[in-house]
Structures are given as C-alpha cells and as structure tokens.
Amino acid sequence: MTERRNRTTARTAPRDQEDPAPGRPALRVVHEPDGIDLAAAAEAAGRFLTALGVSTASESLRGTPGRMARAYAELFTPRPFDLTTFPNDEEYDELVLARRIPVRSVCEHHLLPFVGTAHVGYLPGSRILGLSKLARVVEHFACRPQVQERLTKQVADWLQTHLEPKGVGVVIEAEHSCMTLRGVQATGSSTMTSTLLGLLRTDARSRAEFLALTGAAG
C-alpha cells in the first residue's frame, strides 16, 4: 500500500503580486496533495456503502458515491493564496486579533466533520499581515484530516515562521461530530485548544489581554 502525503509549499509569487516593499515578494502558498483520483474515490465510496448494507441502486442514491468523492476532495483541498505582508511603518506594537474565524475540518480518526471558530492574534514585529490572510492560514491547515490540537499549533507555528512577529496566539473552539453523533453522543459539547508563542506566552500582560479578548480567560 502506498501512503499518500500532503505537502505545503510556499514559493515566491510573480512580480505583479509582490507586496509594496522592495525585495520582499509575497509568498504563494499552495497545498499539494499527492494526486486526487475522483473516479477511484467514487468507486471506493460505492463499495463502502454496499459493505454497510446501503444500496445505491435507487435513483436518489445512484450518484451518491460520486458526490461523496467530490465532497471529501473539496474538504481536503484548501484554496491557494498569497501571503501578503507590509512594512510596519508606524511601529505598531499592540495586539492584532481576528476573532471568530470559521473553522471546518475533518477528524482524522473517524473522518467526521468538526466545526467551530478560531481566534488568531499576533504582536507585530517589522511586518504586518493583510488581515484576510489570518483566515486563509486557518483554512489552509484545516482542509485535511486533522486533530484540533495539531491544527492549533500548525497555524501558530506557521505564522511565527513566516511573519516573524513578537508573539502569536491561536485559540480554537470546535464541536466534534465524532463526539456528538456517535460514541458518547455528548450533544452541545465543545473542545477548546490554544497555542501561545513569543511574548504572548512569556509576558503576563500580553497573555492576559489575548485570552480575555478571545474569551478563553473566562
């Protein structure tokens, strides 16, 4: 059996997509799965349903294996984006926080969805980030089989590496259907995870401000 791995690449964008600072082009961020074979996925989905005693012979279910394949391909394929940064000319040194970014992902243990919100913040260094890119980074790492703990840390680590801020904080709160629809069936429960780096981890005032603004402190 050949194991398929996903790769995240960040490469320099063409000149017409560069950010305003000379010598600092935007990064084109692309998620590269090792091949998507929709026909094979649909065939496998059909066998899966049949094995579970679900017939796909009726008109309403005949196209279900193909729809399953396309749906999971969409869930596992984030959109590419340009990581656009700008010089921090005003030397802004307070928290930048994007709250309630929608999160949708798939639990890698049961391939059932989990959905929720992410709060992503950073203390700027020499560069600031286009605000929409915080949501793009969340989507980038969420669009694959995941666990929430890893997702939270991947977003924070990636921003710390590529933005080089003084601190990064990520809080994710999500409801997992593998808990609410099966097993313990804990309807209404949610899971909260956090990763704090740099000054948002070591400086008590900055840490408290971030957690209070995200609602994680209460």
**Catalytic residue numbers, as ranges:** 107-110, 148, 176, 178
160, exposed or middle or buried, with CB in 10 Å at 0-12, 13-18, 19+? middle
CA distance 179 to 160: 32
Q: How far apart are the first and last CA of the chain?
A: 48
Which tokens go with 15? 């000149």
Element (H, E) at 198: strand 191-198
Single out the residue of 19, 10, 9 nearest to residue 129, CA to CA: 19
Which tokens go with 35? 């091949």
Cα separations in angstroms, 23 against 9, 19, 33, 87, 185: 20, 9, 30, 12, 54
